[in-house]
A = this chain, B = another copy of it.
Amino acid sequence: MRLRVDLLPHGNYPDVVLVIDVLRATTTAVTYLERGAEALLLTATPEVALSLRGEAPEGGLLLGGERGGLPIPGFDFGNSPVEAAAQNFTGRVVVMNTTNGTGAAHTAAQTGKHVLLAALTNAHAAARRARALATEEIAIVCAGTDLHVGLEDVYAAGVLAEYLLAMGEFSIDDGTRIALTVRRNAGNPIEALGSSGHGQHLVGLGLGDDVRYAAQVSTSTLVPVLGEAQEIPEALRFVAG
């Protein structure tokens, strides 16, 4: 079994893909499911999200997302896990569009057999699920920020890699070696996320609570899994796996 960490989305994933965007898309996605959401629809653009709502019955879909860390006009929620944790989404479908995380999920879905969303908050559960599904390769894909590598995603990839290496034998690549080195030497999760460029940006926007929320490790057992039947090609449907 191969274990591969892509420090930025690269493509050509043959088997299981774990998509990471710790600050904040995948952390928020896990929280929506924790708070009862029935499904998540990840769209490639904000326009697709808005048009999906236009087609749905009144109040049928909620929209969550951000650009540059700030809420998108016309959306209900701002991609904040703290905000999501305070709401009840039971039976609701949330449409998500974010700067980096949703794009990475679409890249993963092009070829991946199984696409899961991973964060620090569901790291152990996501690793277990990936291990159970994989037959040849587990690829951990860091979303990064605006095409630049994000320390917070590489750190989380290292946490996932550590869990996976404890579950069985893997051949690893240099991306995995780098992620493990970062995980073991960049401090505790709060320090690592807080020292990242994107973490500092969010703190500057007054969103430090989201950074602290995202630094919790394995507090959730929910793993968003890409469903097999995709009704809308421009929107990836994830459900609790």
Contacts and interface: CB of A to CB of B under 8 A. Distances in A.
A186 B183 CA distance: 12
B175 A148 contact: yes
A174 B147 contact: no
B150 A174 contact: yes
A181 interface: yes
Interface in A126-183: 145, 147-151, 154, 173-175, 177-178, 181-182
Nearest to A174: B151
Contact of A173 (B181, B182, B184, B197): B197
Interface string A49-74: 00000000000000000000000000
A45 interface: no
A10 B147 contact: yes
- Chain A, interface size category, equals 20 to 34
Contacts of A195: 177
A148 to B, nearest CB: 7
A204 to B, nearest CB: 14
A223 interface: no
Contacts of A198: 174
A7 interface: yes
B173 A148 contact: yes
A178 B142 CA distance: 14
Nearest to A197: B174
A8 interface: yes
A151 B179 CA distance: 10
Contacts of A177: 151, 186, 195-196
A177 B181 CA distance: 12
A190 to B, nearest CB: 15
Interface string A1-34: 0000011101000000000000000000000000
Interface of A: 6-8, 10, 145, 147-151, 154, 173-175, 177-178, 181-182, 184-186, 195-198
Ranked 5 nearest A-B pairs via Cβ: A151-B174, A185-B185, A174-B197, A181-B185, A149-B175
